[in-house]
Structures are given as structure tokens and as C-alpha cells.
Amino acid sequence: MRSRTGGGGVTNDDIPIGRRVASWRVRRSMTQQMLADRLRRSKSWVDKIERGARALDRYSVIQEVAHVLRVDPEVLLGQPPSTPAGTPDGVDDIRAALARYDIPQAAPRTDELRRQVGHAWLTYQHAHYGQLVRVLPGLLDAAQGARSPELLVQTYRITSSLLVKLGEADLAWLAADRAMSTASDDPLLAATATISIAQALRAQGRDHLALAALLPAANRVLPQSTHSGDQEVCVTFGDQTSRKPLDHEGQGDRWGRAVGGVLLVQAALAAVGCGEHRRADELIDRAVGVATNLRGYDDTHHTSFGPVVVELARVLVAAQRGDADAALQRHSTIVRREGWRRLPAEYRSAYLVDVARVYLQVGDLRGAARALVDADCVAPAEVRCRPLARTVIADVARGHPAPAGVARLATLVGLTR
């Protein structure tokens, strides 16, 4: 790679850093003024950075810009993202398993494969990512050789979710796309695959594409009249509207509603990422209606959906549209609920890392540190293996002095102040 200075900063290729900032700002559906406001700087400052009229050569400032744009600083610098200490090896083995097209001669029995897939889901939900990285290549081989589309879809979904955690969004999208192709004849399985598709797209910063996938999928699996009051849950994206929900009855009804509820939650997060704040609020309100009418279902599709999940999403939507204070007030109430403690460790820890970012929005380093330490107590790998968490730790550790507990985390993940 060539190193170059100029065009507003130093990068390791021929694209000036200012152009990278502009590109990611557009992908995040932000105007120059919006980026300036979140950085607490002037629009003129952003414009000069993007045009190369002002140098962006201080790493601490690059970190601030990267944090607002939700990318690693290395992305703005044109460098391969560094691997945090504690990140499990083995992603190349997963990539190789996804690239194999030869079918094993002896496929495992379906009941044995189902047991293995169930164990993999538990491993993921407990955030034992190192163990899961070692297991997945063999599980992918077994599932691809079996004759069970349902279990193969689940295996691809687990793989995609883990790869998103490890910062491998492109490979995660490949696994999610495989899930969708496998599930094409089953509307409910296809809807679960759409959850993975959307998570991978959002991790790539492609919120518009995620939203375009999520809304039709939600319409297909939810009844035409899902109540938040008596509002119909029929949401559209452009001219993409689906008004042919599944036939719902009994447990299948509850499964469809749970999957549909997650699709609405993901759609709300994608919408606010696109700057469509009103639509995000409407989607959250509709997800409330789904969750309110959903009680006592068997979470076969591993959605974790329920009223608390919707309220956590409401916190993140409020924070991303700039209402950080209101978001934190709501957060402090939700985490006292019994439903919060019943969520998987992975889910709670990931949410707490997001909340640490909200505390940073309001300049509360102690609150951010407390959220990070709590996240580490719930699921250490969620904090120590994820590039996103590493960036938040670095932001908090820049405080003088670094808040208690965060200096230790910074050392554990290989960061230096």
C-alpha cells in the first residue's frame, strides 16, 4: 500500500481522508450540518475537512469522527481494521466452510443436527464467541450436507450473527443471503433470514437497503390488523407493499408475530439510521402493539422479542435522533424490569455498549464507563471481541483520568492511551 499525506489527512491509499468522511456521511444519510452538530463543530469545519482544505491528522479527532459515523478509525484511514486482543481466531475457517460446495458423504441424523444447532444458539446467546468460532465450520459442513432447510437456515443465521459481532459484515451478509436462498419456499423461515440480512446490511452502513428488505417481510408474516390501538401494521417502502400475511393460528401465530415484531424493531433502527425519524417512531409504536398481544410463546426462532426488547429499541432510536437525555431516562427505568434480566447475556451486553455511546453523546464519561463495565460483567466477549466496543472503550479511556474500570478494559483489549 502507498502512504500519502494531503487532501485533508493521511491515508494508506490514494483516497484522501476527507473524501472518506464525506462518503460515510452520505451513507449514514447525514448532512454536513448534522455531522457538525454531532461533533459539536461548525458546518464550515466539516466542509473544509471533506474538501481537503483543512487537515484531519490528529488521531483523537479521527476517532471522534469515526465514532459519529459508526465506523472504525482505521476505515477512515484506509487501513485494514486492527484485530483487538481477545478476538477469536478462526474466521478464515468459517469463510472456507462457506466456500465449500461439495456435500459430505455421510450426513448426520436430523435429531443430532438439531441438538448441535440448539447448542450453537445457546453458545451465541451466552456470548461464548471463541467457542462458537471453533464449532461453526464443522456445523456448517454438517448442516449443508443434511436435508433440513430449517436447520440449515438456523446455522447460516448463527454464522451471520457471529460474523457481525466480529466486524466481518461482508461475510455476514453472505451467510445471511445463503439463509434467504435456503428459506425461499417458507415465508416464516425467509422472514427469519431477513433479520440476518438486515443486521448485516446495517453493520455495513446500508440502512436504506435494510429498510427495503425489512418492511415487505414484516407485512408478509404479520396479520393485516396488528393492534397498537387499532392501527393496521401495513408499512410500505416506496411501492413495495405486501398484504398477504401468513395463515396464522395457534403457536404458529405467535411465532409469526414474534418474528414480525423483530422485523419492525430492526426496521425502526434502520429508519432512524436513514434519518427517517417519524417513520422510526411509527414502527416502534407498531412493534409495541405486536409485543402487547404476544404472551407465552416458544421462542423457536430465537428472536428474544417482547415488550422489553421494543422499549430498548425505543431508547436507541431516541438517542440516534438526538434525544439522548430522554433516552437515558427511559433506559434507567427499563433495566429495572424483570424482563430485562430474562434477556440473553449477548443481547443485554450489546445493548449496554450502545448505551455507553449514548452517555458519550451527553458528555457523561462516568455513565459510559459504568455501562461498559456492566456490559463486561454480563458478557465479557461482547466487550472484548467486538471492534465497535473497542472504539467506545477508546473514547471513554481518553478521559483524564480514565474512569475506573475502563483503563483495565483498555489494557485487556490491547488499547493504549
Which of 52-75 are b and which e, b meaning 16 or more Cβ less than 10 Å from the residue's Cβ? bebbbeeeebbbbbbbbbbbbbbb
The contacts found for 103-109 with CB under 8 angstroms, 24 or more apart, are 103/144, 103/145, 104/141, 104/142, 104/144, 104/145, 106/145, 107/142, 107/145, 107/146, 107/147, 108/142, 108/145, 108/146
How confident is the model over 323-349, as pLDDT tens digits? 999 999 999 999 999 899 999 999 999
| One domain, residues 68 and 95 | no
* pLDDT given at position 103: 66
- Is 208 inside any structural domain? yes
Collapse the DSSP code of 235 into the 3-class scheme (helix H, G, I; strand E, B; otherwise coil) and give the result: coil
Low-confidence residues in the chain, pLDDT < 50: 1-13, 227-252, 417
- Is 86 inside any structural domain? no
* pLDDT given at position 305: 92
* pLDDT given at position 250: 47
| One domain, residues 57 and 178 | no
- Is 84 inside any structural domain? no
**Of the candidates 411, 413, 367, which has an alpha carbon nearest to the alpha carbon of residue 389?**
413
* pLDDT given at position 12: 42
| One domain, residues 268 and 361 | no
Number of domains observed in the structure of the chain? 3
| One domain, residues 221 and 365 | no
Burial group, residue 411, by CB count within 10 angstroms (0-12, 13-18, 19+) = middle
* pLDDT given at position 231: 40
Q: How many CB atoms lie within 10 A of CB 341?
A: 10
* pLDDT given at position 281: 96
**Residue at which a domain ends, from 295, 316, 342:** 342
CATH number at 302 reads: 1.25.40.10
| One domain, residues 194 and 237 | yes
**Residue at which a domain ends, from 76, 108, 129:** 76
At 182, give phi and psi (nearest 5°). -70, -35
Structural domain including 408 reads 344-417
- Is 40 inside any structural domain? yes
| One domain, residues 113 and 148 | yes
* pLDDT given at position 332: 95
Residues in contact with 249: Cβ distance below 8 Å, sequence separation at least 6, in sequence order: none
pTM of the entire structure? Answer: 0.76
| One domain, residues 277 and 377 | no
Cα separation, 139 vs 98, in Å, equals 11
| One domain, residues 125 and 270 | yes
CATH number at 44 reads: 1.10.260.40
- Is 214 inside any structural domain? yes
**Residue at which a domain ends, from 76, 101, 121:** 76
- Is 82 inside any structural domain? no
- Helices 307-320 and 277-292, packing angle to 10 deg: 170
Q: Contact 174/98 with Cβ under 8 angstroms?
A: yes
| One domain, residues 212 and 260 | yes
| One domain, residues 257 and 232 | yes
- Is 412 inside any structural domain? yes
- Is 407 inside any structural domain? yes
Can you say how many angstroms the Cα of residue 106 is from the centroid of all Cα atoms in its chain?
A: 36
| One domain, residues 337 and 387 | no
| One domain, residues 52 and 200 | no
